[in-house]
């Protein structure tokens, strides 16, 4: 399980960059796998809230300590969710001192969104 994150990494931007929307033509198995991986990273209430809090924060960034109370989960759980969102290409991390600041990857959500549109 621990090695999975380094192997199957297929950032949203890459998965979304290539191809026609979901409803244009039948998806290949590989395309479906990639898209499902991106969606799965998003398909959790805690992770959705993390993203929305980061996006709504000052300077579009937030450190872990700012995120723990709002989502009401343990620190290790929050770190875990942030890692999943990073691996999927939705967030980036910048360390400054002891703090880790998370920030939205600019086009990530949009390119995923574009894939869902029924052309």
Partner DNA sequence: TCCATTCATCGACGGTTGTCAATATAGCGC
Partner DNA sequence: GCGCTATATTGACAACCGTCGATGAATGGA
Q: Where does this chain bind a copy of itself (CB under 8 A)?
A: 22-27, 29, 32-33, 35-36, 39-40, 42-49, 51-53, 55-56, 70, 104, 109-110, 112-114, 116-118
Nearer to a copy of itself by C-beta: 79 or 107? 107
Among 14, 30, 33, 44, binds DNA (CB under 7 A): 44
Q: CA 72, CA 35: separation in Å to the nearest integer?
A: 29
Query: How do 99-104 and 61-63 pair as beta strands?
Result: antiparallel
- Indicate whether 27 belongs to the interface with DNA (CB under 7 A): no
* Helix extents (H) in 1-118: 4-7, 12-17, 29-42, 45-55, 64-71, 75-87, 108-116
Q: CA 102, CA 1: separation in Å to the nearest integer?
A: 24
User: Contact, 35 vs 22, CB < 8 A?
Assistant: yes
Nearer to a copy of itself by C-beta: 45 or 97? 45
- Indicate whether 79 belongs to the interface with DNA (CB under 7 A): yes
| Helix pair 75-87, 29-42: axis angle to 10 deg | 150
55, interface contact from DNA, a copy of itself, none, CB < 5-8 Å by kind: a copy of itself
Binding residues vs DNA (CB under 7 A): 1-2, 40, 43-46, 63-65, 73-77, 79-84, 93, 95, 97-100
């Amino acid at each position: 399980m621990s090695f999975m994150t380094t192997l199957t990494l297929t950032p949203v931007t890459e998965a979304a960059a290539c191809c026609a929307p979901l409803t244009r033509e039948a998806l290949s198995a590989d395309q479906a796998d990639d898209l499902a991986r991106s969606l799965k990273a998003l398909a959790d209430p805690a992770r959705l809230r993390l993203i929305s809090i980061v996006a709504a924060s000052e300077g579009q960034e937030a450190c872990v300590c700012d995120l723990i109370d709002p989502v009401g989960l343990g620190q290790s759980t929050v770190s875990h969710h942030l890692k999943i969102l990073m691996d999927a290409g939705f967030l980036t991390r910048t360390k400054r001192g002891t703090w880790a600041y998370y920030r939205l990857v600019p086009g990530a959500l949009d390119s995923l969104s574009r894939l869902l549109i029924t052309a």
